[in-house]
Amino acid sequence: MMKLFTLAFLGVFCVLVAFGQDMIVRTLPTEVFRTITKDAKDTSTWKWKRGGAINLNLAQGSLSNWAAGGDNFSMSLNAYTNYFLYYKKGKHTWDNNLDMYFGYVQTTSLGSRKNDDRIDFLSKYGLQIDSAKKFYLSGLFSFRSQFFDGYTYNGTEGTLSSTLLSPAYVTFSLGMDYKPVTNFSVFLSPLTSRATIVASKRLAAQGLYGVPAGQRISNAVGAFTSINYSKVIGKNVTYKGRMDLFSDYSHNPWNIDLYFTNQLGFKINRYLTATYNLDMIYDDDVKLFGKDHNSPGLQVKSLLGIGFQCKLAQVAHQ
């Protein structure tokens, strides 16, 4: 089943890339978005460059004598922070990117729950090996976890299923990075070490996330691919996406783990932005789903919001 999901997602990415190339022919796109890529308009000479953005979305709803039913009151708050730090000198590049997400929803029927909670850090070093500046020998490090406790719910009853560093995913990878254009890159690695950490003693005792019961860490060696794409689709519409695929050589190598994020941004004015996020995760070792809550499943999360955006000033150092 997972192979069908993976092929479908790869197909989606191929369509996006083809669409992007067609847009290049018809327009002159500019790069102002994230993904470990640089601004296409940036022709200045710099060694270090840093910047980022802060996005805050707020939504509220209320009902009174509403025949169709629903919650009398609901409120949601979603925050997103991005910070990047780039280095380049000669044939050497070093790209660092940090994304932090947190979402909170309050309703009269369900009470308060979080609907987003992520820490995602990616660092990639590259050594240019061709005159066309498209191929780089690269080393990659990534870290993913969350800030606060997470619960799975059966009605209104919640059971602790995750917390800070439980789980956490730490990846070290050596491979080749292909960058044919500034807004698209494919990193391929036949040698990747991925550690799954469950720091919580309470959760570790349950043997969750593929870590044996009673242990705090599990290591896997396999193949890894990371595809990054960003695009200015129109004057005020931007897209960025990232797909990570990991295959464990020693345990069901055809059951590929998937981490797929997408973000569409619609600029309303200088400070207001509408955003749509669609995230998909599949991990064969995360068995929290199904009728008996002991099966893996495709995790899907989508968020749509309108809110305030503040871009941190980009600073370049010679």
pLDDT digits (tens, 9 = 90+) for 7-62: 444 454 444 444 444 433 333 333 223 344 455 455 556 799 999 999 999 877 77
Percent of the chain past pLDDT 90, that is, above it, reads 62
* Amino acid, single-letter form, for residue 72: N
Distances in whole angstroms, Cα of residue 265 to Cα of each of 27, 90, 248: 19, 33, 34
**Percent of the chain topping pLDDT 70:** 83
Where do the domains of the chain lie? 2-43+88-96+103-306
Task: Give the pLDDT of residue 305.
Answer: 87
pTM check: above 0.75: yes
The overall average pLDDT reported for the chain is 84
pLDDT of residue 10: 47
pLDDT in tens, 162-188: 999 999 999 999 999 999 998 999 999
DSSP string, 105-159: EEETTTEEEEEEEEEEEEEEEEEE-STTS-EEEEEEEEEEE-SS-EEEEETTEEE
Check if CATH label 2.40.160 holds for domain 2-43+88-96+103-306.
Answer: yes
Give residue-wise pLDDT tens across range 75-118.
899 999 999 999 999 999 999 999 999 999 998 888 889 989 99
